[in-house]
């Protein structure tokens, strides 16, 4: 029972490592942006699960509820989600421009093209 109570952290770590692997191994830029999205949602789960109280309820004051879950992580994660879409959108705009400038969105292909340009 005591070991299983850490289960939420292990789920977060698994998702975080999947997102991390996707970001460093795949060369395609859109895949990298999707990997970043997976990483971000795993961090959100970490915060929200840390703020939960077993037996609590959604932090909106209403009749018949005694124990509320902590509202502070929800505030942080709301801001973080909106900043996440801002980052994704700017990353996608950069991908479009790179595709037009270099003809490809794969990391190794762009390195080869830059090597040719410099030579």
Partner 1 sequence: MVAVTVVVTRDLLKATMLFAIYSLTIAGLFATLDAGDVALTEAAVGAGISTVLILAVLALVPRHEKRQAGHSLPALAIVTVTGAALVYASFDLPQFGHPDNPVQQHLAPYFIEQTYPDMGIPNMVAAVLASYRSIDTMGEAVVILTAGIAVYALLSPAPRRRQRRREHDS
Partner 2 sequence: MKDNAILVVVARFLIPLMMLFGLYVQFHGEYSPGGGFQAGVLFAAAWILFVFIYGLETGLRIIPQRVIYTLACLGVLLYAFIGMLGVILGGNFLDFHPLLDAPRAAQQAGIILVEFGVGVTVASVVMLFFLLFARRRADSEAAGLDPDAADDVETDRQ
Q: Which of the choices partner 2, partner 1, none does residue 16 contact, using the CB cut-off of 5 to 8 A by kind?
A: partner 1
Catalog residues that contact partner 2 under the rule CB under 8 A.
58, 60, 78, 81-82, 85, 89, 92-93, 96, 100, 102-106, 108-110, 112-113
Q: Which of the choices partner 1, partner 2, none does residue 65 contact, using the CB cut-off of 5 to 8 A by kind?
A: none
Using an 8 Å Cβ cutoff, are 29 and 93 in contact? no
| Residue 2 or 64 having the CB closest to partner 1 | 2
**Distance, CA of 38 to chain centre:** 4
Using an 8 Å Cβ cutoff, are 91 and 33 in contact? yes
Rounded Cα–Cα distance for residues 40 and 87 (Å): 11
> Hey, which residues does 106 pair with through a beta bridge?
28
| Residue 2 or 63 having the CB closest to partner 2 | 63
Q: Which of the choices partner 1, partner 2, none does residue 112 contact, using the CB cut-off of 5 to 8 A by kind?
A: partner 2
| Residue 17 or 78 having the CB closest to partner 2 | 78
Could you tell me which of 28, 33, 34 has the C-alpha nearest to residue 107? 28
Rounded Cα–Cα distance for residues 32 and 35 (Å): 5
Q: How far is the CB of 64 from partner 1 (least distance, A)?
A: 13
Q: Which of the choices partner 2, partner 1, none does residue 43 contact, using the CB cut-off of 5 to 8 A by kind?
A: none
């Amino acid at each position: 029972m005591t070991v299983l109570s850490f289960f939420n952290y292990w789920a977060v770590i698994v998702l975080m490592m999947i997102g991390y692997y996707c970001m460093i191994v795949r060369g395609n830029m859109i895949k990298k942006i999707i990997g970043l999205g997976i990483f971000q949602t795993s961090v959100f789960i970490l915060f929200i699960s840390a703020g939960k109280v077993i037996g609590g309820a959604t932090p909106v004051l209403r009749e018949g509820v005694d124990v509320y879950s902590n509202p502070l992580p929800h505030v942080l994660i709301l801001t973080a989600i909106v900043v996440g879409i801002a980052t994704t959108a700017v990353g996608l705009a950069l991908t479009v421009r790179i595709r037009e400038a270099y003809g490809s969105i794969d990391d190794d292909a762009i390195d080869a093209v830059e090597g040719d340009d410099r030579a």
